[in-house]
Structure 1
Amino acid sequence: MTLRELREKARQTLDPVVFDYVAGGADEERVLTENERAFGRYALLPRVLSGSEERDTSVGLPGAPQVSPVLVAPTAFHRLVHRDGERATARAAAAEGAVLVTGTAATTAVADVVAAAREAAPDPAVWFQLYPHPREEVTAELVRRAEDAGCTALVVTVDSPVFGRHTRDLRNGFTDLPPGYAAENMRDLPGAGPGALTPIPMSAAPGWPDLAAIMARTPLPVLVKGVLHPDDARLAVEHGAAGVIVSNHGGRQCDAVPAAVDCLPAVTGAVAGRVPVLLDGGVRRGSDAAVAVALGASAVGVGRPVLWGLAADGETGVRQVLSTLRDEYAHTLALCGGRRNTDLTPGMVVRKGGTW
């Protein structure tokens, strides 16, 4: 199946309320739409007589020395779409040599996610996505659990001072998880009773000093996710970030921001090669990934397509999504005369309808 067909099978498989939760965005969903549409404004200008029969698309990322250029972006509540949930996603990502970013809102605890990934590969790259908590001891415990589980990096999400207004969820009355499901990483945290759940934090209180404190607390590399402004990218690097992820939260937070890929050139310019820059939001084909890499991204993340694959066919479906995007990317690289990722450069990207 193509990714479009997987999406349709997921729609047919899932409860409509759950499908809307996965598919939906904030407010009028303008950014959700623009994330995908924006890639259509870019075209690749190939080079010729410069390729090779052998191509290397692997990329080195913090805590992930040799992985696919397509990674699994953090998405919540995988068990809502398939009974094996994050375990299936973890096995699939590890088998495909892709980084899995599991997170605070996973319906499987981080230790169990990493253990599942190790069933498919001896040394998988699993990163832990963290929402900083206003209470320092809660953040510290989440970081400790990620370290103990064997995560190889932290991803601190910084674009969520408040919850986005998800119109579909509000219309459907989907405001809490159904019985039997929980954000398992939020269980048994400091200040809560045995077995109790602490709410996932969305707080405007954390600032740059709090990010620096997280970095001082852990030996793991820390990437900062949710950056759109080049000045924030500079600040992230100055505070010690090991990577910057250009993201508008998949269109699920502010519905008045640009498409993620449109913000990428300014961010990569501000970072100036000091740390890797990644992108998520709107990647639906391998050529989208190639455009992002040409504009300076080291790798791209995909979220909704992974959940489509998981809903449609479990672990096998996730593997299909990741392998399809990786193979399409490699095919596009070859068509552009490239041997390796760095052969895709900003000078090979043009605006459709513009002058060359």
Structure 2
Amino acid sequence: MAEAFADYEHQSALPAVVHDFVAGGSGAELTLRRNRAALDAITVSPRVLGGVESPDTSTTILGTPAALPIAVAPMAYQRLFHPEGELLLAAAAAKAGIPYAISTLSSVPLEKIAAVAPSWFQLYWLRDRTAVRALIDRATEAGCGALMVTVDVPVMGRRLRDVRNSFALPSEVIAANLVDKYTEAHSVLNGSSAVATHTATAFNPTFSWQDLAWIRSVTEIPLLVKGVLDPRDALAAVDAGADSVVVSNHGGRQFDGAPASIDALGSVIDAVGNDFPVLLDSGIRGGTDVLKALAIGADAVLVGRPLLWALAAGAVDEALALLGGELRDAMLLAGCADLAAVTDLVTGRN
């Protein structure tokens, strides 16, 4: 039994190269470490004598009812961590009452995942626009409640752990949503990441605001733009028709030198206004982190890596129950009866 939500990494007996694939960031991993340091530096002044016994953690995120202000972040190739992969984690999300974001690079077809849990679909901009439109249509037909477009991957960041490990996918783990499975991801080349080679082949680095506006024009479901750190980009996303932005540095896996996501959150909220939904991604490792993000102004958070560790340990139900318990404990200790009370907490920095 894990003692804390963040503990599952120590229970996941993964091959070293797969562990590095999840744990690593880009470059010198400065931004990866910055995410954690920034969250640790935030303080919250608790309220007292609020007469709270059972905090209400329920909310609605982009029209999707949620028992917690949390969604499962889109993460690729989950069959690397468990034979059932995405299906097991999606089922756990459904049990926990939170949305599950399906990755373009999921190792199980999106339709099978959407049948298991209330889902959003995360979209990468591919070189083939026809393939992009097909994915949007498939996600809509499968009943996905929102489209999350990731905008911070014109190319994959240089992830040195993968390069040094000559990391490649095993043959049974494929990009199940793509018509062309891009076999480059399985070709081991010394001193090279096969996954990076794959994305360079599949992704279109010229993705632009005009392309985002086109995506908006071909779907009516809520549109989230993930990967925003600069307030000017948040405003441009609003102008392009986005319904929400996700403040994210891709978990420190893209531009090494970016600010911690939590440090960028306040300025983005100030730019778009308190009535525009803003989510936070990157670095969340427990219920107190969730409370800190909400206190600064996020409407909800995405949780990623710890759930992959839990998936590898076969403990995703337990992990999400533990995360919910940590959030409720944090709310009790901070004197908050509901999520609205969390937004009134005073935050600071050490």
Q: TM-score under structure 1 normalisation?
A: 0.89
1:73 aligned partner: 73
In 1, Cα distance between the equivalents of 2:206 and 2:7? Answer: 42
Structure 2, unpaired ranges of 5+: 182-197
The residue that corresponds to 1:172 in the other structure is 165
Residue of structure 1 in register with 2:253 after alignment: 252
Match of 2:188 in 1: none
Correspondent of 1:323 among 316, 321, 324: 321
Deviations 1:143-166 (A, max 9, x none): 011112111100000001111101
Q: Is 1:163–1:202's contact at 8 Å kept on the other side of the alignment?
A: no
SS in 2 for 1:40: helix
Q: What SS is found at the alignment partner of 2:336?
A: coil
Displacement of 1:346: 6.2
Q: Does the C-alpha gap of structure 1 residues 346 and 135 become closer, same or farther in structure 2, counting only changes over 3 Å?
A: farther
Deviations 1:286-329, CA, capped at 9 Å, x for gaps:
1111000000111111111000000011xxx1122222122111
SS of equivalent residue, structure 2 residue 74: coil
| Corresponding residue for residue 83 of structure 1 | 83
Deviations for 1:254-296, whole angstroms, at most 9, x for unmatched residues?
A: 1111111011110111111232111111111111110000001
Count of matched residue pairs: 331
Aligned counterpart, 1:271 = 272
- The more displaced of 214-223 and 45-54 is 45-54
Aligned-partner Cα distance in 1 for 2:180–2:62: 29
After superposition, where does 1:178-197 map in structure 2 within 5 Å? 178-187=170-179
Aligned amino acid, residue 19 of structure 1: H
Q: Aligned partners of 2:177, 2:67: CA distance in 1, in Å?
A: 26
User: Identity over aligned residues, as a percent?
Assistant: 43
Is the 8 Å Cα contact of residues 51 and 338 (structure 1) preserved in structure 2?
no
Partner Cα distance (1:277, 1:257) in 2? 19
* Aligned amino acid, residue 261 of structure 1: I
Q: Secondary structure at the match of 1:319?
A: helix
C-alpha offsets along residues 90-132 of structure 1, whole Å, 9 cap, x if unaligned?
1000000011111111000100111233xxxxxxx20000002
Specify which of 122, 146, 159 is matched with residue 139 of structure 2. 146
CA contact (8 A) 2:331 2:342 kept: yes
Displacement after TM superposition at 1:67 (Å) = 3.6
Contact 2:65 2:98 in 1 (8 A): no
> In the alignment, is the contact (CA less than 8 A) between 1:42 and 1:291 conserved in 2?
yes
2:204 is paired with a residue whose SS is: coil
Where do residues 156-235 of structure 1 align in structure 2 (5 Å cutoff)? 156-174=149-167, 176-187=168-179, 200=199, 201-235=202-236
Q: Which residue of 1 aligns with 2:9?
A: 7
Question: Partners of 2:9 and 2:299 in 1: how far apart?
Answer: 26
Cα gap change, 1:187 to 1:350, in 2 (>3 Å) = same
On the 8 A contact 1:261/1:292 being kept in 2, the answer is yes
Give the root-mean-square deviation of aligned CA atoms: 1.7
Answer whether contact 1:70 1:325 (CA < 8 A) is retained: no
Contact 1:70 1:326 in 2 (8 A): no
**Larger CA deviation: 108-117 vs 165-174:** 108-117
1:283-322 to 2 correspondences below 5 Å: 283-313=284-314, 317-322=315-320
User: Match for 1:253: what amino acid?
Assistant: Q
Alignment match, 1:121: none
The question of whether the paired residues in 1 share the 8 Å contact of 2:244 and 2:277 is answered with: yes
Alpha carbons of structure 1 residues 88 and 132: separation in structure 2 relative to 1, 3 Å: same
d(CA) in 1 for partners of 2:285, 2:324: 11
Aligned-partner Cα distance in 2 for 1:106–1:351: 37
Using the alignment, how far apart are the partners of 1:150 and 1:237 within structure 2? 24
Code of the aligned partner of 1:260: S
Counterpart CA distance in 2 for 1:188 and 1:14 is: 28
Listed as ranges, the gaps of 5+ residues in structure 1 are 118-124, 190-198
